[in-house]
Structure 1
C-alpha cells in the first residue's frame, strides 16, 4: 500500500515538473519568436560615437542593410553597462575594456568583439600653466596639472573616458579635489566646450576633439602614450539571461559593424572632412594585439 502511494506521489511530482519544463520551453520559444519579429534594436553606446559624428554614417547604413531600426541610447560606458546588466538594451558599443570584461564574466553580455580604436589626448589652453605640452607620459602630465592646481574639467559621468581619467589620477597617487578640479557630469562634446570656455585642461577622445575642433580654441598638448589607447567593443546582451532582448537584432548590428562594408564605412569617417580617419578599424583583432 505504501509503495503504491509512493509511486502515485512520484508520478504526480514528475507531471508537475514536466508541465513546468513545458511552460519554460513555451516561454523561451515565445521570446525567440518575439526576437525574430521585433525590428527595433536598442543599442547603448558611449557618447563619443555620437559626438564624433560616426552615427550619422552608421545608422542609415545599418538600417538599410539589416532592415532593423536602430534605437540609440548615447550615455557614458558605465551607464551603458548598467543598462545591459538590467537587460534593458539589446547591444552595446562601448570603450572601457576593464569594465566590459567584468560584465562579460558575470554573463550579462556575450559575443564581445573589438571593432575599432583611436586614442585619448590631453587638451588645454595655449598658456599651459602646468607646462605639460609635449610630454609623452600622461601620468606625469596629470601630476603637473595637480601640482600647479591648473583647472581640470572632468566628465564625471562614469564613461570610458572618465574611468581612464580616474585611473591616471590613481597612478599619479593623486585624489583630485578643490576649486581647480571641476566635473560636468556630461558627455565629451559638452565637456570640451566647458573646458574651452574656462581655459581648463581635459582628457578627450581624439575623434570628438577633431569633430568639435571648429568650435574650440585650445590645442592637443599631450598624446602618444600607450595608456591613452582607446578601444571600442561591441557585444550583445545575453538573451538567455534576459529573454526580452532582441538577440537577432543585436547579432545583425554586430555583424554589420564587423563586416567589410561596416569596417570600410568606419575607416572612411572623417577622412574627407579632416584629412584623417577619426577611427581605425580592428575587425578580427583582439585586445591582445595591443598588448592588453
Structure 2
C-alpha cells in the first residue's frame, strides 16, 4: 500500500512539475517594475518547465553579477556596457529582445517649460536653466547611464550640478516615489511610469525624441565561469524569449490600453516556422 501511495503521489505531481528546473537571471528594476515579468514568468514555467529566479537590480549591478558568475543570464538595457561584457568574455553573446522608450516626467504645472522643448537635450537644458528639482536614479543602472549621456549631449555636467539635481541611488520605483513626493522632474522608462501607482501631481511631459529609444537585450553568462552555470537552461530560455509565443505576450502587454514594450528579437527558425 505504501508503494502504491507513493507512486500515485508522484503521478499527481505531473510531468511539468517533476521537470521543473531553476535558473537565475539578473534583470533591471525598470523591467520588473513594468509588471511584464509577472506575465512572462508563469508562461515560461508552463511552456518549458524552467523556474526563472529573478535578481532585480540596476543594469550596472546585473552586469557585475554576470561577471562574477552569480547568475546564468542577464536582461538589461545599456548597449555599450553589454557589448563590453561580451567582448571581455563574461557573456557568450547579446540578443535584442524588445524595446520601449524613455520619457521625461514632471509636475503638471511644468515650471521649466519642458513640454515646449524641441528635443531631449532642450528639455534637460530647460530644467537646468530653471534649477527645477530633478531626481536622478544615481545607481549606475541603464536608465541612469542614459540620463547622464543626455545631460552630456545638452552640454551640462550633472556631477557639478547644484542642489536642484538630486541623485537618490535607488531603483526606478523608489526614484519615481521620490519625484512624486517632491513634485520634481525625472527621466523614466515608459513602462515603469505607466505601471507606477503613486503619480500624484506628476505627468508625462516629453517623449518622442529618437535618442530616447530603449533597447532590452538578453545575455547568457559564459559557461567557462564554472560548471554550475546553467547554460542549457539559459539557451532554452533564449529560444522561448525569441519565439512567437513571447512576441504575442510582450506585444500584447498593455496598461490602460497602452502598449508598454515592442518585441524586436530576430526569431529562431523554429519560431518562424510556427508563425
Q: Same fold (TM over 0.5)?
A: yes
Query: Equivalents in 1 of 2:47, 2:232: separation in Å?
Result: 14
- Given that 2:77 and 2:217 are in contact with CA atoms closer than 8 Å, whether structure 1 keeps it comes out as yes
Counterpart residue number, 2:111? 129
Counterpart residue number, 2:74? 92
Counterpart residue number, 2:65? 83
Counterpart residue number, 1:205? 189
1:180 paired to 2:128: no
Counterpart residue number, 1:290? none
- Given that 1:125 and 1:218 are in contact with CA atoms closer than 8 Å, whether structure 2 keeps it comes out as yes
Counterpart residue number, 2:225? 241
Query: Equivalents in 1 of 2:201, 2:131: separation in Å?
Result: 21
Q: Cα offset for 1:204? A: 0.3
Unaligned segments of structure 2, at least 5 residues? 1-18, 268-275
Query: Equivalents in 2 of 1:225, 1:209: separation in Å?
Result: 17
Larger Rg: 1
**Structure 1 outlier segments of 4+, above 6 Å:** none
The total of aligned residue pairs comes to 247
- Secondary structure of the structure 2 residue equivalent to 1:230: strand
Counterpart residue number, 1:150? 132
Alignment of 1:1-292 (within 5 A): 39-176=21-158, 177-212=161-196, 215-270=199-254, 273-284=255-266
CA RMSD of aligned residues (A): 1.6
- Secondary structure of the structure 2 residue equivalent to 1:150: coil
State the TM-score, normalizing by the size of structure 1: 0.81
Query: Equivalents in 1 of 2:213, 2:119: separation in Å?
Result: 13
